[in-house]
Structure 1
């Protein structure tokens, strides 16, 4: 790296958000996820054996998926590449694979590809990745907030270990607050009151990134506009709640499930206008169109069933469209399906058949009629 590049890298690092500046460089520094990084646990074993294996990190936002992937690759002596499934293409996958082959041949160094939001990849994109993972040219660490069994192709999933991450507990979040305060103090005089600290820890629902984003925003506000009677840089309860209420907290995992529940309930109640409103509300906040399509395919059989035989066809058509049509155009297909499902007659007959199947005595098929 030349002097210009080094200076640019240092400048970029100084401007990075607090959450990025605090990313651990070793597995020992990772907070939480002891069932994965503790002694004898899967990720710890990979590091100790210097042998990283393909895996899917599945868990809520802000639980450390990216944070864990980097030190695992580094401590295993692998080169680390990162792509986001939101923006990456098959061409990007090929470029990573070509570079990995060259690197392996020239230096013997293996390559770890961290694929963020792997659930956003289409089936064809996942298929393009499969061969490189299967051959061992690339070791995949995928990250997702969605169930891998519903969003990752079976052939690719069969070559990965699924590791579930849990929300950070309050002790880990409190330790993260302290790391954040210590980092902020290196640049400016920042403190936090006990009640503000407790409120921050309890309000982020185990999301470490959300905690650090809120802490940094509160520090900016405390320095620029301190609370009455407080010193400049003192994060009080009032300052914290004001900064969080100003839009620092955005569409989080809890909001995701609440919004999806509202969407389903309005379709069930036959309210097409509200069903459309909730669907588009979620799309506007970055929801994966395929998640919404899957919910409608399930709804078509679970809540409409035989009452309208076209419902499942329309829902699966929207799901198919979501695989190859991106935003914003795919909202037409999804809204079309949502309106049809909301207006359709409802039947829980399929649910009742499934429930009855558990207790229904199995009978042999009827004898075929003999022709004379």
Structure 2
């Protein structure tokens, strides 16, 4: 293979908007009409090179190739540590066992060779982009990568036209990975429908937002939704450990630590990722990382899991894992901060730097907010004061507006406590007013008072359910007239028309009287049930036994003898 050919192949990656996706054979065999204008010249040059006689004078080509390699190396070196250390195969992928386990649905589809279009929904840094790249690599598909933050419909059409040509000529499928897919509006999302429907492209969309709200129904019906969970602390620890092993010479890694299953060759052989994923020792020196474990530090060696990096003590590592909040990208960014600090840096200074470098802003529009307020409300409803207090603390510690929580607790006071304790609603309103007048941080005490009271209060949903039943009946027919008996009759004409006839004014009687308050069609309807009415409740023996085992020390519920199944 000539060096001009190497140059052509090296240049393909940026032209196609991502890692090298077409092989040299694919590019040279495609008609020019299926290729972007910049790529046509490369393909023509390759054809000319292959048909031209061999020449011994290859120095100019070598020089160009070296220049291209240097540029690629510089770009790779400038990338953050999290980008350079992405896994190169599924065996190195950490977390998401529900998707990567051998018996999972996704792996089953992968073995069958037809994953189809899908949406990856999960929090930042949980592996959506990495998993998409690894799936494309495993299926040997052409991989194109776009971001909805800077791409538009024209970019999608270009990819689709190229994919159509490649599929018809070579039989290779094209996977289009669209990051932040929720940023496309409904009209933009519709561009995918014909291409996905016809199988021209396989779409993998990544989003941190709930697809039910952000993705159109038409596109959702053509895609499988896979949920990625936030990484656990053990996942983050494993990612950090593997990262240190990859940037550290083999002789410097603690032999007691588990080694990565992938070899250095695995990290650099894939065409789907940027080159120089692993850092040689020269690059480590450029980063300012220590090259010798002999450093004068105050920490005990027993507290340093990686002797070559004495500043990375157990305390620093645990804090790093906690601050990452399940985000691998954040964890590796914090790790880079630690490893580039002088070896003699004290643990207290490192911890302070780590805490100040992590954003504590709270996304008040994301799913996490609504998940946590739901957890708080349900904990109160379930009379679990410990859980309710925890979720209250989680939300306030992350910067949630205390008025938002107070308003939700006002609703809870009537919805869940209701008629069982008529003091709940006044207390909730008082707590809301206290939050308005006092503010944080003191009003957290008022909210804790309210949450504890509501959690321990008896529960009665009769009023809440009564309204729901009445609303359902009202919506069925909004034309039912008010009975004449209970209509107001302020004028003579209205009285002559029968308004108010036979109405019995209750306070005038010492005994109960009958008035027809409902439209005749609804007479006899019961919306507000009497206290103790269990007709709308059910018995779940399995759920009761679980409660007895986990919450009642295995003792039978004292109310068992009072109720029947």
State if a TM-score over 0.5 links the two structures: yes
CA spacing shift, 1:145–1:49, aligned 2, 3 Å: same
Q: Which structure: larger Rg?
A: 2
Q: How does 1:75-224 map to 2 (within 5 A)?
A: 75-185=138-248, 186=281, 187=284, 188-189=289-290, 191=309, 192-222=312-342
Say which of 347, 354, 374 aligns to 1:244. Answer: 354
1:214 CA displacement: 0.9
Say which of 201, 211, 227 aligns to 2:345. Answer: 227
Gaps of 5+ in 2: 1-5, 8-64, 249-280, 291-307, 370-394, 409-462, 482-565
Verify: 1:265 aligned to 2:404, yes or no: yes
Indicate the SS of the match to 2:95.
coil
Distance 2:405 2:350 in 1: 35
More helix by share: 1
CA spacing shift, 1:114–1:252, aligned 2, 3 Å: farther
Name the stretch that deviates more: 39-48 or 2-11.
2-11
Distance 1:158 1:260 in 2: 37
Partner of 1:356: 467
Distance 2:206 2:212 in 1: 13
1:100 CA displacement: 0.9
CA spacing shift, 1:124–1:367, aligned 2, 3 Å: closer
| 8 Å Cα contact 1:174/1:201 also seen in 2 | yes
Name the stretch that deviates more: 48-57 or 158-167.
48-57
Q: TM-score, normalised to structure 2's length?
A: 0.45
Q: TM-score, normalised to structure 1's length?
A: 0.66
Let me know the Cα RMSD of the aligned residues: 3.1
Distance 1:130 1:264 in 2: 43
Distance 2:169 2:217 in 1: 33
1:266 CA displacement: 10
CA spacing shift, 1:264–1:143, aligned 2, 3 Å: farther
Q: Tell me how many residue pairs correspond in the alignment.
A: 276
Name the stretch that deviates more: 251-260 or 123-132.
251-260
Distance 1:361 1:149 in 2: 26
Gaps of 5+ in 1: 229-236, 270-351
CA spacing shift, 1:220–1:255, aligned 2, 3 Å: farther
Verify: 1:52 aligned to 2:115, yes or no: yes
CA spacing shift, 1:34–1:355, aligned 2, 3 Å: farther
Distance 1:355 1:97 in 2: 55
Distance 1:57 1:69 in 2: 9
Q: Kindly indicate whether structure 1 or structure 2 has the higher relative contact order, using CA contacts under 8 Å at least 6 residues apart.
A: 1
